[in-house]
Structure 1
Amino acid sequence: MHTRRHWLAAAGGLALDMGVLGGLGEARAAAPYPSRPITLWVPWPAGGATDISLRLLAELASRTLGQAVVTDNRAGAGGTLAMNVLYQAEPDGYTIAQMPQPVFRAPWVQKVLWDPVRDVTPIIQVSGVTFGVLVPAGSALRSLDDLFAYARAHPGELSIATNGVGTTPHLVLEDLFTARGLRYIHVPYKGTAEQITAIMAGQVMAGVNSTGFGPAVDGGRLRLLVIFSAQRSKRWPLVPTLRELGFDIVAMSPYGLAGPRGLPAPVVATLHDAFKRAMFDPRFIQELAKYDQEIDYLGSDDYARACREIYARERINVERLATPQAASHGG
């Protein structure tokens, strides 16, 4: 009897413990989202224009969400490394990432584990960057034609930096130089800040970068030769577009935020609403203006549709450039 009483007491205690644990589990499951900090992965090095602006966006969104949105950096591979994080993350809303243009191109040029349409849940489109060709302020190269002339006179000696192999700047360079049968040395960097430093220091002769170069151009440390947008920039009205120079190329790079595949609709809505409010905060708009950027908002459904369209277009772009001739000119 003594043993039986002890067994019953133990069993009752275990049942009580299980009940408590079950209650805690139910309470945890029922906790409103978000109940802890959210991590926003930025696929570029710290200190660049996109990193700085997204840190501010995260700070502003935190106020609405009631939890901190902590930015973390996973730089390299042309801006695609954050996709590895999303691919492995739980769809609980606590891991999100920026979706830059290269993630839609990478699967067409190399083997990756993830699919940028199948394996993500688009949340919101934020903005887009414009690219331009830059040289040091004291360079003798003063136009795109000067670059072509130098490459023609010094085959394989013109060094041009980009923010990575397979990025939009790299593909545009391939298009521009291959069309003329010209060669150049492609120098890929992980992000904007270190590339701009390299151009200013003369470590490379030219570079193609996003409009994070604005302060360096305005400060007279870099010269902007041409931009890739559809129209001239209000900020630099004397700088021509590629179209004006006879190239049918407009290279904008829209970006947004996404979570892992299977993110619940209520979580998507919560994140969307918080980041939309943050996007239209005057502080964020002013921050984007420093880099000649504007808000380019798309809601979750429209952004998902845009992602599918971009993915299809990138396949066409890669196939167009994947020729023996193209492969021999540049990185």
Structure 2
Amino acid sequence: MPTSSFPASGKRRSLLIATAGAAAAALTSPLRAFAQGYPERPITFICPWPAGGTADQSMRALCQVAARTLGQSIVVENKVGASGMIGTKAMASAKPDGYTIGQIPISVTRFSQLGTLQLDPLKDLTYLARTSGQTFGIAAPAESRFKSLQEVVAFAKANPGKLTYAHAGIGGATHVGMEEFALAAGIRFNNVPYKGGAEALQAVLGGHVDLLADSSSWAPHVEAGKLKLLATWGERRAARFKDAPTLKELGYSVVVDAPNGIGAPKGLDPAIAKKLRDAFRTAVASPEFKQVADKIDAPVLYLDGPDYEKYVAGIYQKETVLIDKLKLKELMKS
């Protein structure tokens, strides 16, 4: 009878739904269990800069605190070269299981557009935390003829391309920041790239290059009287170096703080990403990190993963304009 077929059909539907639900649960429960048990072994953290530099010090301090929160050690591995892009690419190419994470230099937004980094920062990374910025500056040896940035500009105008400056790699924050300043000042430098800030610093201390453009690797040497700080690149003067003017107050509309961030490969389980985000939020707020950040003049600029991702998207658009303005593609080829 037609009336008796309806309950049977309903039963079959219920059975099918229940079976599908059980199948879905069987598929998702191992993933859920994996996320709940994470981390079960040490985590590798890829730092794309040389050991001992300011970025390396910053990341090691964060990893030490985050490891305590997670209950597993975090082993920092330095993979240097190509202005931080070798390490970034290695991290992005790793298995997205939460056991390989690393620092994301904000210059990924630039190098991906210049074609020297084969990944899309808007699609190929999982963003966990923006941590802190950097205090960049222009320094000269203590015995240098230049007593101020105004004297540097005057000499460079009279001698285009004669003054040399050391930086941490073509297309990186120190190179682009210095070229942006040169454009604003109407001068031309001769840039000398190195594998990182530590090497650039040694070149200037050794008298091989006229000027240093770097984050605060110069700080202890300025305090020791071996270098003089001519200008910094932030919105405000550096707390420890209040005598050094900013580029902005000297009349050059250039501000560079290049925030560091922490990320993972795309496809990371959201539950694992949440554990890592929470651990690094705690690490950024810790007294241990504040001590290191103050030591290396790194302003804390924390953003949680989703907000950090939005920030990167905004910087990506700004870099599109900057690449054209500074003719960076031509600079990369020269």
TM-score grouping bracket, smaller chain normalisation: 0.7 to 0.9
User: Hey, what does 1:149 align to over in structure 2?
Assistant: 154
1:320 pairs with 312, 319, 325, which one? 325
Q: SS where residue 244 of structure 1 aligns?
A: coil
User: Hey, what does 2:16 align to over in structure 1?
Assistant: none
2:314 pairs with 296, 309, 320, which one? 309
2:57 pairs with 44, 47, 52, which one? 52
Alpha-carbon distance in 1 for matches of 2:303, 2:233: 22
RMSD: 2.3
User: Hey, what does 1:19 align to over in structure 2?
Assistant: none
Alpha-carbon distance in 2 for matches of 1:135, 1:30: 51
Return the letter of the residue paired with 1:97: G
Q: SS where residue 39 of structure 1 aligns?
A: strand
User: Hey, what does 1:175 align to over in structure 2?
Assistant: 180
User: Hey, what does 1:13 align to over in structure 2?
Assistant: none
Q: SS where residue 191 of structure 2 aligns?
A: strand
**Per-residue CA shift, 1:268-289, capped at 9, x if unaligned?**
1111111111222212101110
1:212 pairs with 214, 217, 226, which one? 217
Q: SS where residue 314 of structure 2 aligns?
A: helix
User: Hey, what does 1:249 align to over in structure 2?
Assistant: 254
User: Hey, what does 1:123 align to over in structure 2?
Assistant: 128
The yes-or-no answer on 1:94 pairing with 2:99 is yes
User: Hey, what does 2:83 align to over in structure 1?
Assistant: 78
1:273 pairs with 274, 278, 284, which one? 278
Return the letter of the residue paired with 1:231: R
Alignment of 1:151-300 (within 5 A): 151-179=156-184, 181-300=186-305
Return the letter of the residue paired with 1:130: T
**Per-residue CA shift, 1:284-309, capped at 9, x if unaligned?**
10111011123211111111111111
Q: SS where residue 116 of structure 1 aligns?
A: coil
| Structure 1 position 149, deviation (Å) | 2.6
| Structure 1 position 179, deviation (Å) | 4.6
Alpha-carbon distance in 1 for matches of 2:117, 2:195: 19
**Contact 2:66–2:280, Cα closer than 8 Å, also in 1:** yes
Distance 1:150 1:87, change over 3 A: same
Distance 1:48 1:113, change over 3 A: same
**Contact 2:46–2:103, Cα closer than 8 Å, also in 1:** yes
Distance 1:29 1:248, change over 3 A: closer
Alpha-carbon distance in 2 for matches of 1:250, 1:29: 44
**Contact 1:186–1:330, Cα closer than 8 Å, also in 2:** no
Q: SS where residue 239 of structure 1 aligns?
A: coil
Query: 179-188 or 84-93: which moved more?
Result: 179-188
Query: 147-156 or 117-126: which moved more?
Result: 147-156
Alpha-carbon distance in 2 for matches of 1:288, 1:214: 13
Question: Taking structure 1 as the reference length, what is the TM-score of the superposition?
Answer: 0.86
Q: SS where residue 272 of structure 2 aligns?
A: helix
Query: 215-224 or 121-130: which moved more?
Result: 215-224
| Structure 1 position 258, deviation (Å) | 0.4
Distance 1:30 1:159, change over 3 A: closer
Alpha-carbon distance in 1 for matches of 2:65, 2:242: 32
Unaligned regions of 5+ residues in structure 2, if any?
1-29
2:74 pairs with 69, 91, 101, which one? 69
Q: SS where residue 123 of structure 2 aligns?
A: coil
Alpha-carbon distance in 2 for matches of 1:109, 1:329: 8
Alpha-carbon distance in 1 for matches of 2:250, 2:32: 63
**Per-residue CA shift, 1:41-61, capped at 9, x if unaligned?**
111111111112211211111
**Per-residue CA shift, 1:137-189, capped at 9, x if unaligned?**
11111222222233234343211011110012212222232455533221111
The number of equivalent residue pairs is: 305
**Per-residue CA shift, 1:15-43, capped at 9, x if unaligned?**
xxxxxxxxxx9999577000111111111
Identity of aligned residues (%): 38
User: Hey, what does 2:26 align to over in structure 1?
Assistant: none
